[in-house]
Amino acid sequence: GVLGINRLGQVMHIQVDEQNIVKHIQGTLGNIDLAMKVAARAKLPGAEQLYSASFDQMLRTGDLNGAAEMAARSPNGVLRTPNTINKFKQASQANPGQNPLLIYFSKILEDSTLNAVESIELAR
């Protein structure tokens, strides 16, 4: 929150509702891109469906690097699931010259560590 004192000497405390700010930006302001950026930067809930839809769209269009980066940087690890790993496995069949799982794991390891499911899958 933010504390402030106005000219009358009154102390004010302003705080953002972290559970609803992303939904407010998306719904009231209609700015989906901003909602996703705020959710990612502040690790706030509310953009899970937006991230999932955008991730799926990137995979469909063959943007493996973009999809891997989105999954790796998704707020609260919402896309770092066994389902995501399976989607990258399916993408390897459609892209025989590339290894989408390797791209995914390398994007995660750039800024973070693997979770338990990812570690097991990488060891296979």
How many other CB atoms are found less than 10 A from the CB of residue 118?
A: 23
Each residue of 39-52: pLDDT tens digit?
888 888 888 888 89
CB 23 within 8 A of CB 40: no
| 13: Cβ contacts below 8 Å, ≥ 6 apart | 1, 2, 3
pLDDT score at 66? 92
Secondary structure of residue 2 in the 3-state scheme: strand
Q: How far apart are CA 122 and CA 48, in angstroms?
A: 25
> Looking at the predicted structure, is the pLDDT value of residue 5 above 90?
yes
